Amino acid sequence: MSDLRQTFPRDAAHAPQGAMRNRVLRNTYWLLAISLIPTVLGAMAGLTTGVNQFMSASPGVSTIVFLVGAFGLMFLIERNKNSSMGVVLLLGFTFFMGLMLSRLLGHIMGLGNGSQLIMLAFGGTAAVFGTMATVASTTKRDFTHMQKFLFIGVILLIVAMVANMFLQIPALMLTISVLAIGIFSAFLLVDLQRIIQGGETNYISATLAVYLDVYNIFVNLLMLLGIFGGRE
């Protein structure tokens, strides 16, 4: 009887915490799936209105717009993550990211096998996501300590990308894409594990983090496929 009295409070204490983790994870997956819709709509808008052509003609301006718009919206999302406005801003952010993606999509679709490359990049991204989600939910190893090192890696990637806008070195562009896929795949594992372990309790912030991981994996995988597998 004494053992039962000592065990019950511990189980009762862990139950709400486990339920909260499951709720955050479930809401994150749902919102992530929904966020793909405005991403697709944004990409379609960019392709049909000619925004992608403008960005291709003015890469410097488009990069500035991308950085200001993306970081500005991310700041607003975090400021409003505890209200429904956070969801609205997140969906607006994903539309903006789709719009920015139209430049790369326009280039890839200009290739003879562009549609196949896009589907292959999508499938590869889904495979990476499934693998990282499985590892995050089954492994006993803690990967969350990698977050600081990965963040430094992202900063270096951004610096290298901006520098290569002026240097135009093909080998550096390939290196950046390969490293980006590896870094954001690891970031995806860390972010998913943080949610599963209860380190992230806000599903809007969680969705934003996972979305950025998935988006960057897809973009850089598509760039590599366009370089090595594209046919004129």
pTM > 0.85: yes
3-state secondary structure of 189: helix
Model confidence pLDDT, tens digit, residues 45-97: 999 998 888 888 887 788 889 989 999 999 999 999 999 999 999 999 999 99
Length of the chain counted residue by residue = 232
Asked whether residue 13 carries a pLDDT value surpassing 60, the answer given is: no
Contacts of 108 (CB under 8 A, 6+ apart): 114, 117, 118, 222, 225, 226, 230
pLDDT at 231: 63
Section 6-29 average pLDDT:
66
Contacts of 222 (CB under 8 A, 6+ apart): 104, 108, 117, 118, 121
Q: Where do the domains of the chain lie?
A: 2-229
Percent of the chain at pLDDT > 70 equals: 91
Comparing CA positions, the residue from 166, 164, 146, 145 lying closest to residue 156 is 164
Contacts of 58 (CB under 8 A, 6+ apart): none
Model confidence pLDDT, tens digit, residues 30-52: 999 999 999 999 999 999 998 88
- Cα(first)–Cα(last) distance of the chain, in Å? 76
pLDDT at 228: 84
DSSP 8-state symbol, 183: H
Model confidence pLDDT, tens digit, residues 115-171: 999 999 999 999 999 999 999 999 888 888 888 889 999 999 988 888 887 777 888
Asked whether residue 112 carries a pLDDT value surpassing 90, the answer given is: no
pLDDT at 135: 94
